[in-house]
Structure formats: structure tokens, C-alpha cells
Structure 1
Amino acid sequence: MLSTNQIIEAMSSQGLRITDQRKTLARLFAETEGYLSPKDVYEYMGRTYSGLSFDTVYRNLRVMQELGVLEQVIFEDGVKFKASCSSGHHHHHLICLQCQKTLPIEFCPMQLTDTPDQFQVVEHKFEIFGYCKDCQVSGKVSPKTNQNQASSKGQ
């Protein structure tokens, strides 16, 4: 995961003005293990910066995502963001739906796709959602969830 300084440096190198708000955003994401919704970020930032609009927060999240310092994932309950990995090479993720632990998949499945000649791929995302071993063992995953998971595998 990128550090606060790496996030700030990436923003600065792309010509963004580094305001106190952007420093706070960089620190928030560098210090947060899981994913944050725009609402989570807005509520956190609102404690320090009164009068901050949701649009400003969302616009900054989008800019940071476009710069590659934040990763965006779409969960069932909406879009969430997390500091990008610091690995520096292309990879994908396994994401725990309970604790949001993220594990890298070093292999890119894009190589296995049968892309037609008349289609040019410019970007792709590949995430696998499930439950990590810790959440399974600790009982944080309900039996109902496990039953749903098992029945959907048979379809």
C-alpha cells in the first residue's frame, strides 16, 4: 500500500496543488487497511474541514484514482476506494467481503481471454470476492452465507 508521502508525491508530480485537505486525504488512505466509501471519507473530512462539500470530496477521490494512487472497487453496497498497492507491477486481487483484507493475485487472467480481433482492450479489472481464512475460522461468516455460496457454485 502506498505511504502518505508516496501519494502526495504522485499528486504533486502531476501538477496538483497539495492543500491541507489533500494531505489529510493522503494520510487517511495510507493509514486505512480496508476500503472507504465516498461517504466515509466525507464524514471523516467533515470533522476537520467544516463547509467541505461532498462534491469536492468525490472529485478528489476521482482525481486520485485517475492518478493511480487510489484503487476503486465496486462492492454490492457501492463504490469504495483504497490506497493503491506499492508493488509497482500489474496484478489483481482477492477481496474478503467481511474484513476487506486484500490479497494479490500475481497472475493476470486477461492473458487467457479470447479477445476478438475487432476489439481493442484499453483497460481491465479483475477482482475475486469471498471470505478470507481468518473470517471463516473466527465464525464472522454466517452459516447462511456459506450455504448461499455453496448453492451458487452448483449453478
Structure 2
Amino acid sequence: MKMDFIFDMTSEAAKIFVDYLAKNGLSMTPQRKVIVETFLETEGHFSAEDLLLLVQKRAPEVGQATVYRTLKLLVDSGLAESLDFGCGVALYEHAYGHEHHDHLVCTRCQKKVEVVDNGIEHRQEVLARENGYILTHHRMLLFGLCPECQKLRDKEEGLES
């Protein structure tokens, strides 16, 4: 496989992934390199299919199964998080090197907004302690209608003012 980019082995994320592979008796193959590099360069929420399309622009011979297997390794290594926003498709985002955040999800248009609220974060920690838990991680998804979809709904129902 011809690589037309340099995999930055000095990045902390790359080191974490390579160490994870080594601990599990796996190696960094050329296919994994292009997938990991593309993943690390891609921001936001994206599906395995979205990642496959980006990878195949660089390396057309990389297949769907290899992308899915590598995404699982990225999740298992702690570099990626798999999210179910209720749309029937797992979406992925960076888990390492990004500030923790929660999500607001529109149930109509699937718009996603990342939110950070220190008050909510503190309250979750208090709730865990009050119940004898030590939090290791968490995820909060809030579902509802975004402002644009509220307006559309009101217009459809003849409620607009």
C-alpha cells in the first residue's frame, strides 16, 4: 500500500494507539495507519461510512471491514468514543485530547450541539459520591427539538405567532 502522508508517531494519540496494539499482540499495519491518521484529522461526529469515504480518498484499497475493526481498536484504546444518538447509526468522535462535553440532540433534524456545564458536571460527581460510586466516565445525551424545528413544528400545527 502506498502512503502519501507521514504518520506522526510523535503525537501522544499515536503513541497511545501503538502501545495499545503492542499490549494486545497487534501491529501497526499500513491500513491501520491511514485509518488512524484520517480519524485523528477528522473532527466532529461521523459514522464508520463517513470515515471509510475519507480513508478511501487516500487509500482506495482499504475496505469497510478494516475501517470497522480499526474503529473498534480506537474505541478500546480510549482514543475514540462511539455514540448512539438514536438515529440507528453509531457515530464516533475523539475521546482523547478533547474537553469532556455532553450533547443536545434534535429528534427531528438530528442536529447535535456539544455543551459543557460545570454545574451539571459537579452535580453528577456529588450524586455518584452520595450513592457510594467513584465516577470513571459518563455520557449525557439530552433529546428534544432545536429552535428551528420548534418553529417548523409550530408552523405545521398552525401555532406560529
**TM-score above 0.5, yes or no:** yes
CA distance in 1, matches of 2:154, 2:27: 47
CA contact (8 A) 1:92 1:127 kept: no
Partner of 1:75: 85
- CA offsets 1:104-146 (integer angstroms, 9 cap, x no match): 34416264269989xxx987532334678xxx5xxxx332367
- CA offset at residue 81 of structure 1? 0.4
- 2:97 is matched with 86
Which of residues 30, 37, 49 is equivalent to 1:39? 49
CA 1:72–1:42: 2 relative to 1, 3 Å? same
Whichever of the two has the greater Rg, that structure is 2
Amino acid across the alignment from 1:128? L
SS at match of 1:26: helix
Structure with larger RCO (C-alpha < 8 A, sep 6+): 1
> Paired residue for 1:125, among 139, 152, 157?
139
Gap regions ≥5 residues in structure 2: 1-7, 156-161
Gaps of 5+ in 1: 148-155
TM-score by structure 1 length? 0.62
* Root mean square deviation of aligned Cα: 3.6
Between the two proteins, the alignment pairs up a number of residues equal to 134
* 1:53-81 per-position Cα deviation (integer Å, ceiling 9, x unaligned): 21211111011001110011112321000
Sequence identity (%): 21
TM-score by length of 2: 0.61
